[in-house]
Structure 1
Amino acid sequence: MLYILIIGVNLIVGGVIAVHLRIRKEGSFLASAEKRVFNRDILGRCNSSTHSISLLRTKIFDCNLMYATHFRSTAASPPKGIRYMSTRVPHKCSINPWFITGFFDAESSFIIGLSKDSKRTNGWIVALEFAISLHEREQVLLYDIRSFLGVGTLKKKGGNNLIKYQVRSISELAIVIAHLEKYPLITQKWADYQLFKQAFEIVNRKEHLSFSGLEKILSLRASINRGLSDKLKEAFPNITPILRPLVKLPSKFDPYWLAGFVCGEGCFFINFCKASTKLGFSAHLVFQITQHSRDVELMENLVSFFNCGRCVIRPNKNHCDFLVTTFSDVNDKIIPFFKKYKILGVKERDFSDFCKASDIIKAKGHLTLKGLNKISALKEGMNRKRLIYMTT
């Protein structure tokens, strides 16, 4: 008989969320596999004759969906019960600067905020902000980024399990800009950054305090992110959006940039499919990076960079995916790359389990019931199902 380990949160002991373990008896992997694993419509189906994975026409698994979990910090002095944290950090974290930029390409936002203020000459306040919002499980990674830059604050956002890293003051935004001038963004976010930098320069020169300066800010805001809000359009109906800069992709990627980018936008996961093997099922490894379709050229360049995989535009044409599904490519190209250029944060643990599954498949263990159960156990603890602990 097969025994499956069930992990759950039980109680809080000494400020730490404790875990209870429960053993559930099952008849066999095959008896419950189709119910437990294989009917989940998350990525693709397997062609039983070729054992290859083909994308569903309607859905592709989105590995970046947030989920509730908990995290125990491994940093030397992690933030506990974050509300706000001090702005200046005395020591920098030793992360490769290109990793930082890659992560910014994946997760950061450049915000030009405007709000009414009758006390101002032109009646408006301009507030610039650089921000990253992540699930609280990634608080240590945000803490390390803040430590690396030496500026910014961390803020717990309400009851939605999010933590926000933000930089708002002009003097501190200058440090973020200095970093991005030396290690520039690569994705279409570079255009947002260029517009944001122009707004920064206007504010730094105090020109935003005049009506003409405010109109320049509004023209920039109209071309960044989602553009002007309905209220701003109503208040300023004659604003013309400034032309967005054209993004030119570099001829090659810095590998640390790619590690940082994958830390935010990539996913390592295991897919089970029906197969013509003795057991009737087969395990497959999938590496995926998802982006808005405006960055499809970047996704296509990744195919050349890794010399494997394919770029797939989703049916709604709003997003595209770089996918590697062939085991030899995953094992010989993807895994060695990320072992050399390491991913940080919680996703590093998913990559570690991904590598363990690869070792089982490489040793032909997936052809046995025992091996399939080991891979299934790894899958059940990865990505959205990973239980992580956090001090309270």
Structure 2
Amino acid sequence: NSPFILFNKKRIELLNSNEHNLKVEPLSDNFLYWLIGFTEGDGSFVVNHRNELSFILIQGELNKNILYKIKKILGFGRVIKQGPRVYRFICGKHSEIELIILLFNGNIVLPSRKIQFHKFLTSFNSLRMTKNPIKYISILVHIGPSLNNTWILGFTEAEGCFTISFLSNSVAFRTRFILTQKYDINLPILSKCIEVFDGGKIEGHSAKEVYNYIVSGLKNIEIIYPYFDKYLNDFKGVKLDSYKKFKILNNLIKKKVHLNLNRREELRNMSNEINSYSRKIK
């Protein structure tokens, strides 16, 4: 029942044609769901002014290893340094673009990404020397948000954060899980997280057409643990460390360790480490 059968078949054919004697295995659904979620947060389907197509993922210095992992697992594409602290994974070859299209066609969740991908596929078909263009599929299976696949995890590694802060003038604290997304058209998908996690709320951001799904509070935050614990081994980047420390610190707060003045600075330093991941990965 995997929606990735055709992609896996074509990928194996491509890699076997490039590397004789290379044993190529199908990629797991967990990785591919994750990659779709990550791409919908941080990826681009690009058609430039010369009508050249490329698939791009961009990350900052702190999280550059996530791009190398994607390249290694996929078996194609390349990672290049784009600036002093910016890296990108890029696919531009015709055969690679075709694989990317087979992976995402019918499996994209966010409406804004569907529009971008549709234009990308239309451009590909116009350039392709064949009488058999790839037909655009709006949706093949509804893959997310759901607790039963890694789409939310991938999207979180791109657009989510685990954050804890302590007020300097009191013993108060704030613990939150946040998913951020642009555009009004995507709001129904983001809102579905309330149903999926059975909690949380949507808040508008100060920036226009930007929204946050937020789970806050020590007791409420526990609703996200079963999902992320289930897919702990499927994290690919620095958000794994952030999530682990987030759980540890919440547990210490639950035990009221933050009320101990001798430990409060230690906990504040830990919260700064957790929050720094969100600030530095882009």
Task: Give the TM interval when normalised to the shorter protein.
Answer: 0.7 to 0.9
CA radius of gyration, larger in: 1
Residue in structure 1 matched with residue 8 of structure 2 by the alignment: none
User: Percent of aligned pairs with the same residue?
Assistant: 22
1:135 to 52, 60, 84: 60
> Distance between the aligned counterparts of 1:176 and 1:164, measured in 2?
16
> Distance between the aligned counterparts of 1:98 and 1:298, measured in 2?
16
Q: CA deviation at 1:274?
A: 6.6
Letter in 2 for 1:377: N
What are the superposed Cα offsets for residues 299-345 of structure 1, whole Å, 9 maximum, x if unpaired? 21111111111101124432110111121111x21123211123320
Q: CA deviation at 1:359?
A: 1.2
Pair 1:306-2:200 in alignment: no
DSSP-derived class of the 1:345 partner: coil
1:189 to 91, 113, 116: 113
1:176 to 81, 100, 104: 100
What are the superposed Cα offsets for residues 50-104 of structure 1, whole Å, 9 maximum, x if unpaired? xxxxxxxxxxxxxxxxxxxxxxxxxxxxxxxxxxxxxx79667766210111101
Pair 1:366-2:258 in alignment: yes
> Distance between the aligned counterparts of 1:312 and 1:271, measured in 2?
19
> Distance between the aligned counterparts of 1:248 and 1:296, measured in 2?
21
Within a 5 Å distance, the mapping from 1:1-392 to structure 2 comes to 96-114=31-49, 125-159=50-84, 161-181=85-105, 184-187=107-110, 188-205=112-129, 250=142, 253-254=145-146, 255-273=149-167, 280-294=170-184, 295-330=186-221, 332-342=222-232, 343-384=235-276
Residue in structure 2 matched with residue 228 of structure 1 by the alignment: none
Aligned residues: 247
> Distance between the aligned counterparts of 2:139 and 2:183, measured in 1?
14
Q: CA deviation at 1:162?
A: 0.8
Letter in 2 for 1:177: I
TM-score scaled by length of structure 2: 0.78
> Distance between the aligned counterparts of 2:193 and 2:109, measured in 1?
13
> Distance between the aligned counterparts of 2:163 and 2:197, measured in 1?
18
Unmatched runs of 5 consecutive residues or more in structure 2: 1-17, 132-136
Alpha-carbon RMSD: 2.9
> Would you say the 8 A contact 1:285–1:327 is kept in 2?
yes
What are the superposed Cα offsets for residues 262-294 of structure 1, whole Å, 9 maximum, x if unpaired? 01000011122378xxxx322221111111033
Q: Alpha carbons of 1:134 and 1:251: their partners in 2 closer, same or farther (altered >3 Å)?
A: closer
> Distance between the aligned counterparts of 1:339 and 1:259, measured in 2?
11
> Distance between the aligned counterparts of 1:191 and 1:249, measured in 2?
17
Unmatched runs of 5 consecutive residues or more in structure 1: 1-87, 115-124, 208-244
TM-score scaled by length of structure 1: 0.57
> Distance between the aligned counterparts of 2:120 and 2:277, measured in 1?
37
Q: CA deviation at 1:385?
A: 6.7
More helix by share: 2
Q: Alpha carbons of 1:249 and 1:171: their partners in 2 closer, same or farther (altered >3 Å)?
A: closer
> Would you say the 8 A contact 2:161–2:178 is kept in 1?
yes
> Would you say the 8 A contact 2:165–2:268 is kept in 1?
no
> Distance between the aligned counterparts of 1:378 and 1:169, measured in 2?
44
